[in-house]
Chain A
Amino acid sequence: GAVVSQHPSRVICKSGTSVKIECRSLDFQATTMFWYRQFPKQSLMLMATSNEGSKATYEQGVEKDKFLINHASLTLSTLTVTSAHPEDSSFYICSARVPSHNEQFFGPGTRLTVL
């Protein structure tokens, strides 16, 4: 199957700092990538849909000024958590949709801990 990578896999930061997470499709071009967040014992919640060359589409309740998404190329999308706070601590997972297929392939996730 298609391979999606995420970096970093884990990050611990102080409250108030910004954290950038990268999502790459390694062996295919993804015009659309998705960013999810998963709190402990809860389901994955879609945060935003990232479209190459255009603005991301955010889900209701997700602050676009706090979670900055950039999809500058067909293989890279970045999520920046600005001014992170402890309540932003979560498992952030990206996925990429293979063109002309219904399936999404997920990255390995980034575990963010804000102290």
Chain B
Amino acid sequence: RKEVEQDPGPFNVPEGATVAFNCTYSNSASQSFFWYRQDCRKEPKLLMSVYSSGNEDGRFTAQLNRASQYISLLIRDSKLSDSATYLCVHGGAQKLVFGQGTRLTINP
């Protein structure tokens, strides 16, 4: 079983739609959780950290369910510029473990 599992997509949604991504992780000892965004042929960039209480940053909302070992990302009012691959990541003291990524395309 992979340490981090994501639906690879691709997701194609119209501009303005709300889209949700899910991710499960297998290591119950994981301490930190993140969503990264990766554009084609570029390095990943941190989108947001994920906290147990859930957190929101503008149009983006992240949730963590430790009991179910499940992380989610919600994007509201999607923009064309949101098109990218979204990587679910968990980390311990040093290492980051990346999911395969979910590819999202926002259509005009």
Contact = CB atoms under 8 A, between A and B. Distances in A.
Interface in B74-108: 87, 91, 94-101
Interface of A: 32, 34, 36, 41-46, 49, 91, 93, 95, 97, 102-104, 106-109, 111
Q: Interface of chain A, helix or strand or loop or mixed?
A: strand
Given A102-B32, A104-B96, A44 B91 contact: no
Contacts of A111: 41
Given A102-B32, A102-B91, A46 B97 contact: yes
Contacts of A95: 96
Interface of B: 4, 8, 32, 41-46, 49, 87, 91, 94-101
A42 B94 CA distance: 22
A34 B95 CA distance: 8
A31 to B, nearest CB: 11
Given A93-B43, A106-B45, A43 B94 contact: no
Contacts of A43: 4, 87, 98-101
10 contacts: A42-B100, A43-B87, A44-B98, A45-B98, A93-B44, A97-B94, A102-B49, A106-B43, A106-B45, A111-B41
A41 B91 CA distance: 21
B97 to A, nearest CB: 7
Contacts of B41: 91, 109, 111
Nearest to A102: B32
